[in-house]
Amino acid sequence: MIGFRILEIKRRVDESWIGKFRGIPVANISDVMTRMSAGGAALRPMHAAGNLCGPAFTVKTRPGDNLMVHKAIAMAKPGDVIVVDAGGDLTNAIIGELMTSTAQKKGIAGMVINGAIRDVGVIGKGDFPVYAAGVTHRGPYKDGPGEINVPISLGGMVIEPGDLIVGDEDGLLSIPFEQIESVYNAAAAKHQLEEKMMADIANDTLDISWIDQALLRLNCEIVR
């Protein structure tokens, strides 16, 4: 039944790619994806430290209800990232300390909640990656409906089950399964370029001639 169903993941990004992407800032990945994809500025890291990287285990749930999130935690494999579209509603918390502790014990890589969470005093001191849109003390309902492992959208970013989810202090990004290799190659090159630029800044040798070239190309009037 559409709206109340549970599916299995048919594919997951390979573990070898997960290890490679861990060393690249999300901003570099975003740059090579034309800066057109993002999980929404409202989704912020709620944990103390630690980056997020793993295949998406998707959940679409009625705002304020976490029945399917409980089922997702029971189903997900170690290394998965549970990504929940709860409509961005902040009225009721979708997860809290008990559910995050259970997920962490199972080896789940982290959780993304397009909605609210609670128990941030505990979650905020830990290293288990949790991203959410807000906080409330009001707890969830457990009646459904909802769907597991269907395509979802967070802030216009479409996420298919098994796509790669990456997150750091700057936010979240989903990399489509079919584009993993090409995005990695471009992002790694971008990261190396920025590391060289940082070295040039330290040595006071950074080339900024491109600024005047851009102004000239754009016909900017410069009055001296």
The first and second tokens of residue 89, run together, are 């509603």
Question: From residue 204, how far is each of 106, 119, 188, 192 by CA, in Å?
Answer: 49, 47, 24, 18
Residues 6+ apart with CB under 8 A from 113: 84, 86, 94, 95, 130, 131, 132, 133
* Tokens 């584009």 sit on residue: 179
Within 44-102, strands assigned E span: 44-45, 52-61, 81-85, 93-95
* Tokens 């861990």 sit on residue: 22
Exposed / middle / buried, residue 52 (Cβ in 10 Å: 0-12, 13-18, 19+): buried
Query: Residue 198 annotated as binding?
Result: no
Query: Residue 65 annotated as binding?
Result: no
Query: Residue 35 annotated as binding?
Result: no
207 φ/ψ sector (left φ>0, alpha ψ -120 to 50, else beta) = beta
Query: Residue 118 annotated as binding?
Result: yes
pLDDT tens series, the chain, 224 aa: 789 999 999 999 999 999 999 999 999 999 999 888 877 778 999 999 999 999 999 999 999 999 999 999 999 999 999 999 999 999 999 999 999 999 999 999 999 999 999 999 999 999 999 999 999 999 999 999 999 999 999 988 999 999 999 999 999 999 999 999 999 999 999 999 999 999 999 999 999 999 999 999 999 998 88
Q: According to the model, what pLDDT value does residue 67 have?
A: 98
What domains can you pick out in the chain, each with its CATH number? 5-186 (3.50.30.40)
Q: According to the model, what pLDDT value does residue 224 have?
A: 83
Number of neighbouring beta carbons within 10 Å of residue 129: 27
| End-to-end CA gap in the chain | 70
Distance CA 179, CA 103 (A): 28
The reported pTM is 0.93
Question: Is residue 82 a contact partner of residue 73, using CB atoms and an 8 Å limit?
Answer: yes
Number of neighbouring beta carbons within 10 Å of residue 167: 26
Distance CA 86, CA 114 (A): 5
